[in-house]
Amino acid sequence: MPGTIEDAAVPHQPKRIAVMFGGTSAEYDVSVVSAQQVMDATDPEKYEVVPVIADFENRFYTGSSLRNAARYRPLPPGREEVVFAWGERGPELRWVNERRSLPIDAALPVFHGQFGEDGRVQAYLELIGIPFAGFRSLDAAVGMRKDFTKTIVARAGVPVLPHVLVSRYDLGEPEKIIARAGNRFPAIVKPAGLGSSIGVAVAETPEDLIEVTRAVLLKDRFALIEPKVQNLVEYNIAVRAVGDEILVSAIERPKQISALLDFKEKYLSGGGGAKGTTLPSQGMLSLTRELNPPISAEMLADIHRYARAAFAALGRRGAPRLDFMTDAESGELWFNEINCIPGSYGFFLWEQASVQPLLFPELIDHLIEEALRTNLKTFDDPVPQDAYLLPR
């Protein structure tokens, strides 16, 4: 009957989301800044945010001090060590030094670079059964390796530059490295498994090539060598899947101050925030950029088509950013790399000038809802009956 207890409105319970960040990565600081922005943008009526930082030994901590970016030096004080686990109530955080646990609904990784964006944390969560946003562990690992992604997207019909992969073992025969690179100069040498332009260098001569390759191989096990694009213009675009449809964001064209857009320029141009603060100005990507720059209808269609094809081939989850390069004179277009967790999740690409605008809180909704909807872990016996070798 109307008015009975059964008909009374049930109070809405916000879902509890562990926002994960930090880690053993050259992009630790960037991850901290990104995570603060994500947590600030999360709708408090829908979600209760639990900050979880990974320290330089990849141990997890939580605590209220994690929400105060000004207290990081570079780790915040007052943190309490936790682990992720599966308890009687489902996914939870457990305190290491006390008998205490906190149920959670999902995890939202905001890592950049190794030991977080590269699939290792995702694999840890998959083993436990914690729903999480973004690429699966295998897809994230592939996405971190530039040579792997180029191979996969090329098979999906997306153009990529010719490239070769070298390791430290190749340094004993430098002439072979030069020959394999095709004597094409200038050349770009970059770590195969690091993100955000870290360690990228230009080689103008064969002698340069060996020198910069040696330097790059101090940072990573493998180096990728490819010809430098003349008249370079870069275009970046984010993508996400809604049902059977892959939606695209606005297009970003970074305005390069130097010949090569390096890590500091990408993240810290514009002078950062006010003196004494931690966050750069205009959000994390205070990068000089142009949104939806004037390009031909054909180029726009190609970027959209190739972005959708690459996303479908590489993981089709989350909201990654795909980076393309063009030769402004010839009009040629190449896929460069995928950024599985872009800085601040690239929210400005969706909020500003997108064909289908999406506010930052709505982008976070998409990521969390996808995580909850598509969690793969079950706790049933995984062995099909016709494969039993042991008694059941």
- Tell me the H-state helices in 168-272: 174-180, 206-216, 263-268
The rounded distance, in Å, linking the Cα atoms of 52 and 93 is 10
CATH number belonging to domain 5-132: 3.40.50.20
- Please give the backbone phi and psi of residue 247, each rounded to the nearest 5 degrees, phi first: -95, 145
CA quadruple 79, 17, 367, 290: dihedral sign: negative
Q: How far apart are CA 291 and CA 346, in angstroms?
A: 12
Question: CATH homologous superfamily for 143-159+231-373?
Answer: ATP-grasp fold, B domain (3.30.470.20)
Separation CA 25–CA 20 (nearest Å): 14
Bridge partners, residue 103, by sequence: 92
Beta strand 232-242 with 321-327 is antiparallel
Which amino acid belongs to residue 3? G
pLDDT (0 to 100) of residue 205:
92
Q: Are 272 and 280 in contact (CB under 8 A)?
A: yes
DSSP, res 286: -
Quick one: which H or E segment has residue 305? helix 297-314
pTM of the model: 0.87
Reduce the DSSP state of residue 189 to 3 states and report it. strand
In sequence order, the β-bridge partners of residue 19 are 51, 108
CATH architecture observed for domain 164-227: 2-Layer Sandwich (3.30)
C-beta of residue 136 within 8 angstroms of C-beta of residue 317? yes
Evaluate whether 223 touches 191 at the Cβ level (below 8 Å). yes
pLDDT score, position 324: 98
- Contact at 8 Å (CB) between 216 and 223? yes
Can you give the pLDDT of all 392 residues of the chain as single tens digits? Answer: 444 444 445 567 899 999 999 999 989 999 999 999 999 999 999 999 999 999 999 999 999 999 998 999 999 999 999 999 999 889 999 999 889 999 999 999 999 998 999 999 999 999 999 999 999 999 999 999 999 999 999 999 999 999 999 999 999 999 989 998 887 899 999 999 987 667 888 999 999 999 999 999 998 999 999 999 999 999 999 999 999 999 999 999 987 655 444 555 555 443 333 333 444 444 444 456 788 999 999 999 999 999 999 999 999 999 999 999 999 999 999 999 999 999 999 999 999 778 888 999 999 999 999 999 987 666 788 899 999 999 98
- For Cα atoms 62, 63, 68, give the angle at the middle one, nearest 5 degrees: 115
Question: CA triplet 261, 266, 269: central angle to 5 degrees?
Answer: 110
pLDDT of residue 262: 54
For the chain, the structural domain boundaries read: 5-132, 143-159+231-373, 164-227
Structure tokens at 50: 């639990």
DSSP 330-386: T--EEEEEEESS-GGGGHHHHHSS-SS---HHHHHHHHHHHHHHS-----S--S-GG
Q: Rounded to an integer, what distance in angstroms lies between the CA atom of residue 197 and that of residue 263?
A: 5
